[in-house]
Structure 1
């Protein structure tokens, strides 16, 4: 259950945003992907740019992931099924969120940045992904929702992690 927040985004506190982001991380670690997907606004965007173009625009640059509502729903369905061979059985993950910073509300969205480390444990190996999330949060019915999430990797290459089959 999500805690109720003010519909006035300007009065949302960092503690409320942190609780929301911690809940998101816990849902991902528990592979509760349907509940995680429910945290998003219907006009969602989930982007992971390539390591060499962290400011890349999906309209003109190659990106690792560029999901709208349909693509993200299909990604969740695939990860929940046996069709995602890279993630069946599921990896164990540990999403760590820290250094959460709120910017002033703009266009009815609350811009938020947070650093992250995601540990992935699979087949006796541990790998990690390190970077920063750029969120655009909105309020719907007294609850925060993610309108966009951009996961910018600080790693110079993905080779140590192997692939990006999990959700950051």
Structure 2
């Protein structure tokens, strides 16, 4: 019995969890959910184009190009509650760091991912993003857009809607995603298998 407990502890070592990282992600989320705390939105053509390009790359299934938009500590998060709670404190619909996103993309690119045979065809309609800077995070911009996503696969279709929250920073002169948060209107309802990126 002791051997089992010792073995399990190797996989469940709480010291490996960076709680400061999750606090930062939760702060990002809170600011995007209540953007009046960020002040008045501003115009930024480069960031507006970045948000629209991110959606287009997913529709075109250009996953390598899409992944290159993320920073090394970036995350892709679909909360299971509204407003979103910390991903360190509740089960999420999805929460992926860069390593997990790479794994998922490689799997999709094999062509034998059962849940994507045939592949989903998607088209996103993304509203023009509101953009804010923040005194709290000087190197970050926050953006928020409503979206409607139409997915068609295997002669069936579905429509998914909600709002995207983005935290974008400048890294080496380029824009990079620190967080993409997908806030579904029906996040508390059974979701089925979203085997494609939202």
Counterpart of 1:40 in structure 2 is 70
Mapped to 2, the partners of 1:156 and 1:69 lie a distance apart of 23
SS in 2 for 1:18: helix
Deviation at 1:96, TM superposition (A): 1.7
- Of residues 118, 122, 128, the one that matches 2:159 is 128
**More strand, by proportion:** 1
Please tell me whether residue 84 in structure 1 is matched to residue 116 in structure 2.
no
Count of aligned positions: 155
Higher RCO (CA-CA < 8 Å; seq separation 6+): 1
* Shift in CA distance, 25/59, structure 1 to aligned 2, threshold 3 Å: same
- Report the Cα distance in structure 1 between the residues aligned to 2:85 and 2:149, rounded to whole angstroms: 22
Please, which runs of 5 or more residues in structure 2 have no aligned partner? 1-41
2:15 aligned residue:
none
Task: Provide, for residues 80-137 of structure 1, a one-character-per-residue CA deviation record: whole Å limited to 9, x for no partner.
Answer: 2234211133111002210411122342111111111111001111101111111110
Q: Do the aligned partners of 2:126 and 2:147 also contact (CA within 8 Å) in 1?
A: yes
Alignment partner of 1:131: what SS? strand
Name the residue aligned to 1:140. Answer: 171
Aligned twin of 2:148: 117
1:164 — aligned with what?
A: 194
**Worse-superposed segment, 69-78 or 150-159:** 150-159
Shift in Å, 1:67: 0.6
The gaps in structure 1 that reach 5 residues or longer are 1-11
1:50-83 deviations in Å (ceiling 9; x for gaps): 1x44412211101011111111111111122234
TM-score by length of 2: 0.72
1:49 aligned to which of 79, 84, 89: 79
Counterpart of 1:5?
Answer: none
1:49 touches 1:65 (CA, 8 Å); kept in 2?
A: yes
Residue 103 of structure 1, aligned match among 121, 132, 135: 132
Question: Are 2:106 and 1:69 aligned?
Answer: no
The root-mean-square deviation of aligned C-alpha atoms, in Å, is 1.9
TM-score when normalising by structure 1: 0.83
Distance in 1 between the 2:59 and 2:128 partners? 20
